[in-house]
A and B are shown apart, each in its own frame.
Chain A
Amino acid sequence: MSVICEIISPKSDLDDEVEVKNLYFSNNDKVNENDELLEIETSKTAIAIESTSDGFVEFKVKVGEYIKVGSVVALIHDTPFDDKGDSSEEIKIDEGNKVISAAAESYINENNIDISNIDKKFITLKDLLQENSIEKPLTSISNEKTQASSLETVLKPISKSKKAEIKALSNVNSSGLVSTLAINVDAIKMKDNSAMFANTNNSYLPIIVNEVSKLLVNYPELNSYFNVDGVNQYLDINVGVALDIDDGLKIYNIRNCNNLSLDEIKDSISEGVYSYLRKTLTIENITESTFTITDLSQYGVSHFIPLINNMQSAILGVSAIDIALNRFTLTLSIDHRVTEGKVAAKFLTELSERINNHSS
């Protein structure tokens, strides 16, 4: 048994919906091509719809029903069909007539939640989270595998160093309480100064590291980390410079940076890059930094939001110089549990001034 053809209500010039006035046959009646099967009424006139084939008719509409133009009104089968009345009706999961948002629905499915006890007509994600007294984390590292996509994929295993990176970045950033501020620094003024980093594009990095380390003395909150009981402030200022050339992200630590001169800082960064490339960085080189500077200026980015490292409360991002505007952007992400936007804003303003007024 198969369907030979679909009978479709004709498009009307005026109407979206038409009324079914008459059915001239019953389901499973034998019909012939060009038999008038049913009558519909548009705003202008009544129209008879004919069968386009011989066969056995199955109506998809009822008398008095309003149907969309262009919808299927009947099927013609080659043999009598199994008439189970309303079997064609969509089977709906009985959810006690609740209306559920898509976000709530996926939460229900992921967490196997029984919603029959929720006495609400509209169920939103907010309702469910309140119901379960849990806050929804913005991101989470879960041991559980996420639901598989229905699309075809190829699995690429995550490297150990990437896993370590995810862990190091998850701690602070997954709190959801990270805020990021930005400031533009005038590059013309910088050019007046001689203290450039000689051999790479990120010429201003030593100046920035130098000024940050000096300024951090006045901003202990930005040289700290959050723990459950309070905020731990570091006594040393160890500025980490994020290096990511082609061997994964490493934070090269310039210890007691605030006590170093600009030239010493320049040398230290050069040494770090050299060691990174020769894979001779020691554990000591890449641990125990208290503040991080990440420099993506060589990649031409105009602005980005850096992620705060584990056991720190702030990170500074350095973007590329906008040639047209002769300026570049510094972005500072802060752990709002430790400090606040006003402090960060003040820090950025002062830093920008210091960089502009820098003299070697």
Chain B
Amino acid sequence: MSEQISKNQNIYERALRIRKTEDALLELFTKGELNGTIHTCNGQEFSAIAFKEAIKKDDTIFSNHRCHGHYIESTGDVRGLIAELMGKESGVCGGIGSSQHLHKESFFSNGIQGGIVPISAGMALAEKQNQKNRIVIVFIGDGTLGEGVVYETMNIASLLNLPLHFVCENNMYAQSTKIENSLAGSILKRPESFGIKTFHSNTWDIDNLFLNAQKSVEYSRKIGPVFHLVDTYRLNHHSKSDDNRDTSEVDKYSKKDPLNIFFKENPDIYSSMSIKIDSEISSYIKELSDEGELPPKKYVDTIPDSREILYKPIVPKKERVVNQINSFFHEIMKKDKNVIFIGEDVLSPYGGAFKVAKDLSTTFPNKVFSTPISEAAITGIANGLALKGMKPYLELMFGDFILLALDQIINHASKFHHMYNKQVSCPIVIRTPMGGGRGYGPTHSQTLDKFIMGIDNVTVIALNNLIDPKIIYKNIYANQKHPTIVIENKLDYGRLIGAANIDHYSIEQSDDLYPVVKCSPLDVIPELTIVSYGGITHDVIESVGAIFREIDLIPEVIILSKISPLDVTEVVNSVKRTKRIVVVEEGSKEFGIGSEIIAQISSYPNIEIKLAKRVGALSLPIPSSRTLENYVLPNTTLVKDISLGVLL
């Protein structure tokens, strides 16, 4: 790299292209031709150019809400960007993502502050695994330093020595808040304290910026994680019409802006570049104004046709649930080098809080990552691994902790496929145990399933002790394209697979990927449909005889494995015969899965429902003391709860 980069006309043309593209977008917005919002990087362009100059073709860039400059530099695709913001089908993401949500080749952006950071770390981990000497650059702003997941990721990136390169573009404002009012202490001491190498540049001394970018990128490729702070200034509003800064301050930086200075000094160059770029942009806009938007049928997924479901008897196995899950991982990790096991405390001999990871780290030492206590970051890392083609299996030690990971699940993993117009998929598997009955108390006993239901593109499967979990995991492995959450159960881990005989009942499983279990009375028409799933299945099946005895109605039990999206076909078939339904869940009763199942079956044609009840936990924290825990949870009282539900 020449010391005289500031003399190189090419960089000014690139910066001008970014600036003029954004000016054109603002103009389109004013004319009402953009549906949405934009955040321009006017004044910050050289940061994008400097790092683009420093990286190699296959290095990855992950950017944020203010990503147009990074995108144009990374892909050169001005037309795709304008089309995207105009909502056109030929937009880089079909008009679905618009300004903040872009993906092309190895460029990604998303609009959640900080959430992109662990994903970049996951991508860096994948690159490290693949040993192709690639790095990942993640652009954040100074405002993002307020997000905790940034520091979770710094910690992990340093521990794993990932080829992850932070660029923090410090424009001194978090939206409208001055940095003095949103940031304490020093920016650079933050990464330094994690042992991350730091660099410091600014967009006014271009030669130094470009030189430093070369150095920091080189460092991250050869040695380890880097945090590069780039001081800069945004000359436009944060978004639109939201600038409360002093005009004198903006003017000061406008005069200091190297692009403005260069063109002031070289009006002829400016003029010729300007004509060239303006005509480029206006030809794109002209071309695009006649183009249509993505039709809805290309956006939604087709619903598979219904098929005939076959049932076969369940054969009890003298195997415990936990051993079968562990055995699945031993088999699959031996077969597929892309499978990665991540979680807290998962190294052997400890092997995870519930021993699912037993001996995995000793058998597959480079494929098992025991992480710090950072649920949000490790979920993001799993997302990054998945986006780079790995098959991450993430263990969250307790289901309660999934709340810390919800941003990564909902705003990232679930969104990527559709918001990037189906260019990518993010097949992470998150495993986590829910359920009480062990006295672990309010934050280690919950069944929070309802909070992860109905997330677009996310499949939720709840294991039960009737179906061999190895079969379920094998089916996930073989068929999964999108995020999958598997809810395991603490009490089920130690249970044997299968069920004891119930007098005059057949227990069968469907041939679905995630089987439905039907426990049906022999030779008579059942009179009540009991629907349940997950860990409480064990209690429901054990109670079938007692329930019949109490309520004087012959029950049929339907156990679901896949709970979101919900397929209630078999429930409907049963209720059409029984006309009565009780849904049993371990989570709190209101606004839960029972409510959803009853709502869904009610909307079927020709169904008569005489009775529809829900049985679940009370909406109270789950106490630790045995009597109170039994009082709050439905597991030990479900015969009574169902009876009261049916009889009253």
Contact = CB atoms under 8 A, between A and B. Distances in A.
Contacts of A44: 355
A357 interface: no
B524 interface: yes
Nearest to A12: B494
A120 B525 CA distance: 12
Contacts of B504: 97, 99, 121-122
B273 interface: no
Contacts of A14: 322, 354-355, 493-494
B554 interface: yes
A100 interface: yes
B503 A97 contact: yes
A16 B495 contact: yes
Contact of A43 (B322, B545, B548, B552): B322
B494 A101 contact: no
Nearest to B491: A16
A120 B524 contact: yes
A43 B323 contact: yes
B576 interface: no
B553 A124 contact: yes
A122 B524 contact: yes
Nearest to B354: A14
Contacts of B522: 121
Given A14-B493, A43-B494, A101 B552 contact: yes
Contacts of A101: 548-552
B573 to A, nearest CB: 20
A122 B524 CA distance: 8
B320 interface: yes
Given A14-B354, A120-B524, A122-B504, A100 B549 contact: yes
Contacts of A42: 494
Interface in B531-570: 545, 548-554
B345 to A, nearest CB: 15
B117 to A, nearest CB: 36
Contacts of B323: 43
A66 B554 contact: no
B523 interface: yes
Interface residues of B, number: 25
A42 B550 CA distance: 34
Contacts of B523: 121
A122 B544 CA distance: 12
A62 interface: no
A124 B493 contact: no
Given A15-B494, A43-B323, A99 B548 contact: yes
A103 interface: yes
Interface in B293-333: 318, 320, 322-323
A14 to B, nearest CB: 4
A43 B354 CA distance: 10
B496 interface: yes
A99 B522 CA distance: 12
Contacts of A12: 494
Contacts of B550: 101-102
A61 interface: no
B202 to A, nearest CB: 57
Instruction: Give the residue among B355, B495, B550, B552 with the most A Cβ atoms within 10 A.
Output: B552
A125 B522 CA distance: 19
A342 B27 CA distance: 69
A221 interface: no
A102 B554 contact: no
Nearest to A125: B552
A17 B496 CA distance: 8
Interface residues of A, number: 24
A125 B504 CA distance: 18
Contacts of B496: 17, 66
A105 B323 CA distance: 43
A167 interface: no
A17 B465 CA distance: 13
Interface string A7-49: 0000010111101000000000000000000000011100000
A121 B505 CA distance: 10
Contacts of B621: none
Contact of B494 (A17, A100, A120, A124): A17
Contacts of A100: 549
Interface string A98-131: 0111111100000000000000111011100000
Contact of A102 (B318, B493, B524, B552): B552
B111 interface: no
A68 B108 CA distance: 53
A12 B323 CA distance: 16
Nearest to B550: A102
Interface in B476-499: 491, 493-496
A104 B548 CA distance: 11
A19 B355 CA distance: 19
B503 A99 contact: yes
Contacts of B524: 120-122
Contacts of A97: 503-504
A122 B521 contact: yes
Interface in B28-46: none
A122 B554 contact: yes
A126 B552 contact: yes
Contact of A124 (B355, B545, B552): B552
A105 B550 CA distance: 11
A120 B521 CA distance: 12
Nearest to A44: B355
Nearest to A120: B524
A261 to B, nearest CB: 48
B451 to A, nearest CB: 26
Instruction: Give the residue among A99, A122, A124 with the most B Cβ atoms within 10 A.
Output: A122
A42 B496 CA distance: 11
Instruction: Give the residue among B494, B495, B496, B521 with the most A Cβ atoms within 10 A.
Output: B494
Interface in A128-146: none
Interface string B339-373: 00000000000000011000000000000000000
Nearest to A14: B494
B154 to A, nearest CB: 35
A43 B327 CA distance: 13
Contacts of A104: 552
A17 to B, nearest CB: 6
Contacts of B491: 16
Interface in A199-215: none
A150 B549 CA distance: 21
A102 B550 CA distance: 6
B318 to A, nearest CB: 8
A133 B354 CA distance: 58
Nearest to B555: A122
Given A16-B491, A43-B493, A44-B355, 12 more contacts: A15-B495, A16-B495, A17-B495, A43-B355, A99-B504, A100-B549, A101-B550, A102-B549, A103-B552, A120-B524, A122-B554, A124-B552
19 contacts: A14-B322, A14-B354, A15-B493, A16-B494, A17-B494, A17-B496, A43-B320, A97-B504, A99-B504, A99-B549, A102-B549, A102-B552, A104-B552, A120-B524, A121-B521, A121-B523, A121-B524, A122-B504, A125-B552
Ranked 3 nearest A-B pairs via Cβ: A15-B494, A101-B552, A14-B494
Interface of A: 12, 14-17, 19, 42-44, 66, 97, 99-105, 120-122, 124-126
